[in-house]
Amino acid sequence: MVAMNAIISATELASELAGQNPPVLLDVRWQLTMAKAAGEPPFDGRAEYAAGHIPGAVYVDLDRELASAPGTRGRHPLPDLAVFGAAMRRAGVSAGTPVVVYDGGQGWGAARAWWLLRWTGHPDVRVLDGGLPVWEGELPVDVPEPAEGDFEPKPGAVEMLDGDGAAALARSGVLLDARAGERYRGEVEPIDPVGGHIPGAVSAPTNDNVGADGRFLPAEELGARFKALGAVEGADVGVYCGSGVSGAHEVLALAVAGIPAALYVGSWSEWSSDPSRPVAVGPDPQ
């Protein structure tokens, strides 16, 4: 398997930004919070962006521009394509211009934008490996005003799963559950209606794909990990998580290892909201 050109280092990014064809930069700082339960204000990526960002980067709001409102399709269903397309053009994204996405270091928000751009047909999009913490350059506070881009989303460029497709893939191929192991096993479920996993899915926490510095493990190590989980040559592979965000990060890790995979965007938040869907608990897939 040949690793895909899905990530970029901070050194490489600095070089490209100084080159003849600099990439469009998207800042997608986001993190999952329990603000309502804790009584605290929600995480505000826009405020963090305003305090400093990589030169030229435009902020993109994951909850409003990379997803639709929560509902029966999950906590982060696919965005309205008109809204998504407008956000990308506002940021200067064009079909013929490379795009680099970063976030605060966790990688989940950046991976969601990466996956959506790939799914809607953009040919050249990468994630800054390690996110903002690995950037050693300046962090200006001025807000850039890029020229309007021409990107028009055309969905279906990469495979996507719905609930029925995920259930079928769990039987015929490899369906990876990117959530923490305790949520997969059903020991705890802090967000969704019920704990557990899709019957047949294999536990594969996305946090195990990165090192202590937040960067992805080498492609060879990722390949070995996924092979041990069943993602062998010729196998159909899919991923789900809680709401299609951390799962995109696992799809990105698979891409680094050279393994194509489909994302179940609705993920567990959609699956568990339907009482007719079966739920498995415990450490085993079944």
Is 50 exceeded by the pLDDT of residue 3?
Answer: no
What are the b/e assignments for 237-269, b being 16+ CB within 10 Å?
A: bbbbbbbbbbbbbbbbbbbbbebebbbbbbbbb
Per-residue pLDDT of 98-124, as tens digits, reads: 999 999 999 999 999 999 999 999 999
Mean pLDDT of the 165-178 span: 98
Instruction: Give the tens place of pLDDT for each residue, 211-231.
Output: 999 999 999 999 999 999 999
| Confidence at 2, pLDDT banded by 50, 70, 90 | very low
Q: Say which amino acid occupies 253.
A: A
Q: What is the mean pLDDT of the chain?
A: 94
This prediction's pTM: 0.95
Segment 176-188 shows an average pLDDT of 97
Q: Which of 122, 98, 108, 91 is nearest to 207 (CA)?
A: 108
* Dihedrals phi, psi of 58, to nearest 5 degrees: -110, 135
CA–CA separation, 214 and 146 (whole Å): 30
Q: Please report which residue ranges of 105-206 form alpha helices under DSSP H.
A: 108-119, 163-172, 181-184
Using DSSP's 3-state secondary structure scheme, residue 68 falls into coil
The structure tokens listed for 111 are 């991976």
Q: What is the pLDDT of residue 286?
A: 86
Strand, helix or coil at 160? strand
Q: Please count the CA atoms within 13 angstroms of the CA of 25 that sit on its side-chain side.
A: 25
Residues 199, 285 contacting (CB under 8 angstroms): yes
Specify the pLDDT at position 41.
59
pLDDT of 210 reads 98
241 included as an active-site residue: yes
pLDDT tens, residue by residue, 56-90: 999 999 999 999 999 999 999 999 999 999 999 99
- The answer to whether the beta carbons of residues 176 and 237 sit under 8 Å apart is yes
Convert the pLDDT of each residue in 116-145 to its tens digit.
999 999 999 999 999 999 999 999 999 999
The one catalytic residue among 210, 219, 241, 253: 241
Average pLDDT over residues 247-259: 98
CA atoms within 13 A on the CB side of 178: 29
Q: How many CB atoms lie within 10 A of CB 63?
A: 17
pLDDT of residue 103: 97
Measured CA to CA in angstroms, residue 232 lies from 62, 161, 170, 174, 223 at distances of: 32, 20, 15, 9, 9
**Mean pLDDT of the region 163-174:** 98
Share of the chain above pLDDT 70, in %: 95
Instruction: Give the pLDDT band (50/70/90) at residue 20.
Output: very high
**Domains of the chain by range and CATH?**
7-134 (3.40.250.10), 160-271 (3.40.250.10)
